[in-house]
Amino acid sequence: MNRIIAAALAASVAAPALAADAICYNCPPEWADWASMLRAIESELGVSMPHDNKNSGQTLSQLIAERASPIADVAYFGVSFGIAAAREGVLQPYKPAGFDEIPEGLKDPEGYWHTIHSGTLGLFVNVDALGGAPVPQCWADLTKPEYRGMVGYLDPSSAFVGFAGAVAVNEAFGGSLEDFGPAIDFFRRLAANDPIVPLQTSYARVVSGEIPILFDYDFNAYRAKYTEDGTFEFVIPCEGSVVVPYVMGLVAGAPNAETGERVLDFILSDAGQAIWTNAYLRPARDIPLPEEVAARFLPAEDYARAVTVDYGRMAEVQSAFGERYLAEVR
C-alpha cells in the first residue's frame, strides 16, 4: 500500500473535509447497498455523491457520449463493461490504496479498472409470490408451465447482470464464450413462458412480488431474506453458475479527479470493504466475512457449483452476444 495515500486516507477519515461533490455513474441505492456506501463516503470523507440509477451499459454509453466534456468522476460496472470502458479510452489509470492486494485477473495491470466486490449469479426467489409452486432448483425448471409469467431477467443486451445471467446459463448447458448456442436456445424456450425482461435493477419488484423469480446475485437475495418482510430464497441452480466481479475506475478527464481518487481509496479500504460484506458481498481484498454474515450464506458445497470465467474474453464477446440475442430472441 502507498504509505502517503494511506496516511492521507487515515487523516481524512479522522477529520472529514468540507463537503465536496463528486459524481459516480451507476451507483444505485437499491443495488449492492450503494445507499450505505454513499452515506459512509459522505460521513467519512465529507464527499457528497448523488445516487445514480444507470446500468452498466447505459454508463458506458454516457461516458462515450461525454468523452469531450466528462461529467462523472468515477464509474461502477459489471467487469466486462469496465474492460470495454478502458478499451474505449473513457477511464484513466489509478491504483487505489490496497490495489496490490486484489488477486490477479480481477484488476487491470495498469490500473484502469479494479474489482471492488463480487457476487454469485443465481435465482432470487420471492417464495410467497409463487402461488404454491415449488422453489425452482435448476435453470431448466424455469421453462415449466407452473412458472409462466413468473421469471424475470435483466435485458442481456444492455444490463451487465443480464449478460452475466446469459453466461451462467450458457456455461451450465455446455456452452462456452466461443459458443452461445445453448444460451440462445434456453432464452428462446424461456420466451415461450412469458418472462419479464426489465432494463434496470429490479430488487423492489421481486420484494413486492411483481417478479417472483429473478436472475440475480446472492447479495440481493440475502438482503431480502434477512431484512424484508416475506419469505425469500437464493438458489444456485443445479446445473451450475458463475462468479462475477464488479469493478470501478476513474473517469478520463474527470472534473473532480482528486476527489474521485479519495473515493476509490475509501471503497477499497478496510472500512469500505467491510460495508460490502455487511451487504452480503464478497470483498475484493481478503477481508474475512463477519461471522454472523458468513452463517447466512448457502453452504460451501452449493458455491462449489459457481465457476469463474475469462472475464477479458467475456468482455470481448458481449457485444456480439447482445446483437445475437436481439436478433434471435427478442
pLDDT tens for 314-324 read 989 999 999 99
Element (H, E) at 248: strand 241-251
- % of the chain exceeding 70 in pLDDT: 94
Q: Are 249 and 187 in contact (CB under 8 A)?
A: no
CA angle, residues 196, 202, 208, in degrees to nearest 5: 90
Q: Judge whether 199 and 159 are in contact, CB under 8 Å.
A: yes
The predicted structure's pLDDT at residue 13: 37
pLDDT tens sequence across 81-104: 999 999 999 999 999 999 999 988
pLDDT, residue 293, reads 81
- The cell for 273 is 470493504
- What pTM, to 2 d.p., does this model score? 0.77
Spatial separation of the C-alpha atoms in residues 278 and 285, rounded to whole Å: 15
